[in-house]
Amino acid sequence: DNVEWSEEQEANARSKVQENSSQLLPQDKQEEYEVNANRYWDDFYKIHENGFFKDRHWLFTEFPELAPNRNPSQNEVSGYKCSYEEESNSEGLGSCENGHCSLETRAENQLNLIKSMPKFCTEESAMQKHSELNQSDGDYPGSSATYRILEVGCGAGNTVFPILQTNNDPGLFVYCCDFSTIAVDLVQTNAEYNSSRCFAFVHDLCNDQSPFPMPEESLDIVILIFVLSAILPEKMQCVVNRLSRLLKPGGMILLRDYGRYDLAQLRFKKGQCLSDNFYVRGDGTRVYFFTQDELDDLFTTAGLEKIQNLVDRRLQVNRGKQMTMYRVWIQCKYRKPAAPQL
Q: In one letter, which amino acid is 193?
A: Y
In the CATH hierarchy, which fold is given to the domain comprising 24-66+139-335? Answer: Rossmann fold (3.40.50)
3-state helix, strand, coil in the chain (%, to 5): 30, 25, 45
pLDDT recorded at residue 282: 80
DSSP 266-286: HTPPTT-EEETTEEE-TTS-E
Taking Cα atoms as reference points, which of 98, 128, 274, 305 lies closest to residue 201?
128
pLDDT recorded at residue 203: 93
pLDDT recorded at residue 208: 85
d(CA 222, CA 333) in angstroms, rounded, equals 10
Asked whether the beta carbons of 99 and 281 are under 8 A apart, the reply is: yes
pLDDT recorded at residue 9: 83
Residues of the chain short of pLDDT 50, as ranges, are 52, 75-99, 101-134, 136
Q: Where are the domains of the chain?
A: 24-66+139-335
Taking Cα atoms as reference points, which of 262, 229, 278 lies closest to residue 14?
262
d(CA 234, CA 247) in angstroms, rounded, equals 23
Residues 9-63: tens digit of each pLDDT: 888 889 999 999 998 888 877 777 677 676 655 666 655 555 545 556 678 889 9
* CA-only gyration radius of the chain, Å: 19
Residue 305 C-alpha from the chain's centroid: 20
| Cβ neighbours, 10 Å, residue 29 | 13
For 177, the enclosing helix (H) or strand (E) is strand 172-178
Taking Cα atoms as reference points, which of 308, 314, 260 lies closest to residue 102?
314
pLDDT recorded at residue 137: 53
For 61, the enclosing helix (H) or strand (E) is helix 59-62
Taking Cα atoms as reference points, which of 87, 80, 83, 118 lies closest to residue 104?
87
pLDDT recorded at residue 333: 98
